[in-house]
Amino acid sequence: MFKYKRTGIRNLAIALIFTVAIIALGAILDPYNQGQLAVVSMLFIGVLSVTLLTGTSGQISLGQGALMAVGGYASALTILNLGLSIWFALVMAIIVSALAGLLLGFAAARLTGPYLAGTTLVLALALPSLAIRFESVLGGDVGLNVDFGNPPAWLVSAFGEIGYEQWQLYATVPLTCLALLATANILSSRTGRMWRAIRDHESAASLMGINVSNNKIFTFVVSSGFAGLSGALYGLRGIVGPSVYPISLSLLLLTGAILGGLRSIAGALIGSALVVFLPDLIEWATRPLALSEQIGNYLPGLIGGVLLHLTVILNPGGIAHALHRHKNK
Partner 1 sequence: MDTALTTLFLGTTRGAVFALVAMGLVLVWRGAGIVNFAQMGQAMFSTYIASSLIISGHGYWFAFATALIAGALLGALVDVAVMRPLTKRSHSGILASESMRATVPVIASLGILGILQSLAGMLWAAEERGFPSPVSDVAVKAFGKTAPFTNFDLFIIIVVLLTLAATTLFFTKTGMGLAMRATALNPEVARLSGIRIGRVRTLSWAISGVASSLAGLLITPSANLSPNTLDLILIVGFTAAVVGGLESLPGSVVGGFILGLLIAVVNVYDAPDDVFLALLIFLLVVLIVKPGGLFGSKRVRNV
| Chain contacts with partner 1 (rule: CB under 8 A) | 54, 57-60, 62, 107, 110-115, 117-119, 121-123, 125-126, 128-130, 132-133, 198-204, 247, 251, 254, 258, 262-263, 294-295, 297-299, 301-302, 304-306, 308-309, 312-313, 316-317, 321
102 and 222 in contact (C-beta within 8 Å)? no
- In the complex, the smallest distance separating the C-beta of residue 221 from partner 1, rounded to whole angstroms, is 18
* Measured CA angle at 284 (ends 312, 237), to 5 deg: 80
> Beta partners for 240?
144
- In the complex, the smallest distance separating the C-beta of residue 254 from partner 1, rounded to whole angstroms, is 7
Single-letter residue type at 26: G
**CA atoms of 56 and 204, how far apart (whole Å):** 16
In terms of CB distance, is 6 or 133 closer to partner 1?
Answer: 133
In terms of CB distance, is 138 or 171 closer to partner 1?
Answer: 138
In terms of CB distance, is 231 or 304 closer to partner 1?
Answer: 304
- In the complex, the smallest distance separating the C-beta of residue 202 from partner 1, rounded to whole angstroms, is 7
Helix or strand run (H / E) with residue 242: none
- In the complex, the smallest distance separating the C-beta of residue 301 from partner 1, rounded to whole angstroms, is 4
In terms of CB distance, is 25 or 308 closer to partner 1?
Answer: 308
The count of other CB atoms within 10 Å of the CB of residue 57 is: 21
**Is residue 219 classed as helix, strand or coil in its secondary structure?**
helix
Strands, DSSP E only, in 171-224? Answer: none
* Torsion of the alpha carbons at 3, 45, 76 and 22, rounded to the nearest 10: 90
In terms of CB distance, is 35 or 318 closer to partner 1?
Answer: 318
- In the complex, the smallest distance separating the C-beta of residue 191 from partner 1, rounded to whole angstroms, is 17
In terms of CB distance, is 145 or 206 closer to partner 1?
Answer: 206
Q: Shortest CA distance to 179 belongs to which of 88, 268, 254? A: 268
In terms of CB distance, is 148 or 195 closer to partner 1?
Answer: 195
310 and 82 in contact (C-beta within 8 Å)? no
Task: Classify 206 in phi/psi space as left (phi over 0), alpha (psi -120 to 50) or beta.
Answer: alpha
The count of other CB atoms within 10 Å of the CB of residue 52 is: 27
- In the complex, the smallest distance separating the C-beta of residue 235 from partner 1, rounded to whole angstroms, is 21
- In the complex, the smallest distance separating the C-beta of residue 47 from partner 1, rounded to whole angstroms, is 14
